[in-house]
Amino acid sequence: MSLALAPLDVSVEVEANLPCRKFDPDLWFSDSPAELELAKSLCGDCPLRVECLAGAVERAEPWGVWGGEIFERGAVVPRKRPRGRPRKEDLARDAALRVEAEARLAASGLSDSRNTVRLAA
């Protein structure tokens, strides 16, 4: 069957309400930590958040915000650090955020042995 004759995707109506379709797509791939945090917050109420995150984990997305998580070099990172050497308090906060990210992934059912998620250290 050709693509022209393929049945309509039911999710077409849903896509109009997805944050990544409403806002500038560059927001999800920004270099700015503040913009990435904004993109993460916009993903919070998305009806496809879990599926988006699962797909990104499966593909080992190299970068961007997917399913409310930040990916960098194929790993989930708790937050994008600004350029330069991190301060000691930032390292402690990163450790706490890493635990929080692991908990969110576990709650989404993405931390089982079948879908091993690599978290950046």
Predicted confidence (pLDDT) per residue in 37-78, tens digit: 999 999 988 999 999 999 999 999 999 999 999 998 888 887
The answer to whether the CB of 100 falls within 8 A of the CB of 40 is no
55 belongs to an annotated ligand binding site: no
Lookup: tokens for 121: 């250290």
43 annotated ligand binder: yes
Please report the pLDDT score of residue 40 as a whole number: 92
Q: Confirm or deny that 36 is annotated as ligand binding.
A: no
pLDDT confidence of residue 103: 82
Q: What is the pLDDT of residue 51?
A: 92
Tokens of residue 1, six digits = 């069957």
Cβ neighbour number for residue 110 with a 10 Å cutoff:
21
Q: Which pLDDT score is estimated for 74?
A: 86
Rounded to whole angstroms, how far apart are CA atoms 80 and 31?
Answer: 8
CA distance 62 to 7: 32
* 11 has binding-site annotation: no
CA-to-CA distance for 67 and 4, rounded, in angstroms? 30
**Model pTM?**
0.59
* Alpha carbon 92 to its chain's center: 22
> Is the pLDDT assigned to residue 28 strictly greater than 70?
yes
Please say if the pLDDT value at position 5 is more than 70.
no
